[in-house]
Amino acid sequence: MTNEQARLRWESALVNNYGTPPIEVVRGEGTRVWDADGNAYLDLLAGIAVNALGHAHPAVVDAVSRQIATLGHTSNLVANPVALELSETLLEVAGLAGDGKVLLVNSGSEANEVALKISRLTGRGSVVACESGFHGRTMGALTLTGQPAKQEPFAPLVPGIGHVPFGDIDALRAAVDSDTAAVFVEPIQGEAGVIPAPDGYLRAAREITEQHGALLVLDEVQTGIGRTGSWFAFQQAGIVPDVVTLAKGLGGGLPLGAVIGVGGAADLLQPGQHGVTFGGNPVCCAAGLAVLRTIESESLAEHARTVGKDIAASVEALRHPSIAGVRGAGLLLGVALREQPSAAVAGAARRAGYLVNPVTPDTLRLAPPLVLAAEDAHRFVSDLPQILDDASKDV
């Protein structure tokens, strides 16, 4: 089957929720994928920061194959050893062993729904989130998301949730009071164009929430699991939140999310207040354990930090007139554009053999596998000026 045939079948069989994809990817290995026409691409998006170890990584393939042949699904009416070990390992790498507890879920949206439920159990009525933030598209997570265009078709949303400008400490301080249950914030706003929190903002959010007895919820769905150069972005900020939400890279390509509650927040949710049929699925948890062990054994968080800094510095050193700068941390980067629409640049990149994401009209998002080789990163940077020049012809 060709890409064109796949497009026709997609339009006939699938709801038009995503539009029609330009290519059909049929195979992946490491940091490369191949489409239905046999074209190869360097994958600089990793399924939107999901495939932390790339495609068909031997550790994930082995762990999943062994687990599905041993125990595929149990439900949460019984315990399974893989979910237990994954939860304990997550707490260890987060530095929260003995002070945190984990709830395993399916996705980032669900993790944020759970965090919102936890905030309601404080008995307080209001929640503060950030403008331009993104926390998911289910109704609670969508209400937390500070992007009106995504919210408006589905109003009315969940009451009691307000938004403040991201990075504005004074606005956050003015919005939080004794009725505030929680503050939700992303260390880097990925869907807004890879916008990092300003220096000191997360520390100020921690101080403000502690002052008023509110929970600080950090959405690390995109920034967690080594992507920004450490296990979690909150570790770089030198703070400990009350709740951390995770997904994406945790499952190494399988649907897996987690909520980590810290201190008193870990004990608010009680039996029957949330249910997840597939939460803690042994096969997904086996993949998650393989991801955590490989990141640890191969120092991939440190690798992400080093290669990410190199990409950012090299792109800026190009001094191409279309590049306004590079934002982000580790291997979550946004290339800001001055002229060409990002969609045109992403199309030119695809024709040149690279998959990137036009996350906003003026930003390309790079979120490659953490195993990205330095030489592949250099090749992309070397080809970027021609990609930008070719994109200008499409505008």
Q: How many domains does the chain have?
A: 2
Binding site for pyridoxal 5'-phosphate: residue ranges?
134, 219-222, 277
Residues 163 and 42 in one domain: no
**pLDDT on residue 217:** 98
Residues 139 and 92 in one domain: yes
Residues 137 and 37 in one domain: no
Which residue, of 297, 327, 362, is where some domain finishes?
A: 297
Residues 134 and 153 in one domain: yes
Residues 71 and 41 in one domain: no
Residues 78 and 212 in one domain: yes
Residues 154 and 217 in one domain: yes
Which residue, of 244, 268, 297, is where some domain finishes?
A: 297
pLDDT digit string (tens) for the chain, length 395 residues: 899 999 999 999 999 999 999 999 999 999 999 999 999 999 999 999 999 999 999 999 999 999 999 999 999 999 999 999 999 999 999 999 999 999 999 999 999 999 999 999 999 999 999 999 999 999 999 999 999 999 999 999 999 999 999 999 999 999 999 999 999 999 999 999 999 999 999 999 999 999 999 999 999 999 999 999 999 999 999 999 999 999 999 999 999 999 999 999 999 999 999 999 999 999 999 999 999 999 999 999 999 999 999 999 999 999 999 999 999 999 999 999 998 899 999 999 999 999 999 999 999 999 999 999 999 999 999 999 999 999 987 66
Residues 124 and 183 in one domain: yes
Residues contacting 339, CB < 8 A, separation 6+ = 321, 322, 392
Residues 217 and 172 in one domain: yes
* Residues 327 and 333: beta-carbon distance below 8 Å: yes
Residues 49 and 108 in one domain: no
Which residue, of 264, 297, 330, is where some domain finishes?
A: 297
Report the distance separating Cα 332 and Cα 305, nearest Å: 10
For residue 215, the domain's CATH number is 3.40.640.10
* Residues 329 and 312: beta-carbon distance below 8 Å: no
Chain centre distance of CA 307: 19
Domain that holds residue 81: 58-297
Which residues are catalytically annotated? 134, 219, 248
Burial (CB count within 10 angstroms: exposed 0-12, middle 13-18, buried 19+), residue 241: buried
Residues 76 and 115 in one domain: yes
Residues 75 and 162 in one domain: yes
Binding site for N(2)-acetyl-L-ornithine: residue ranges?
137
For residue 310, the domain's CATH number is 3.90.1150.10
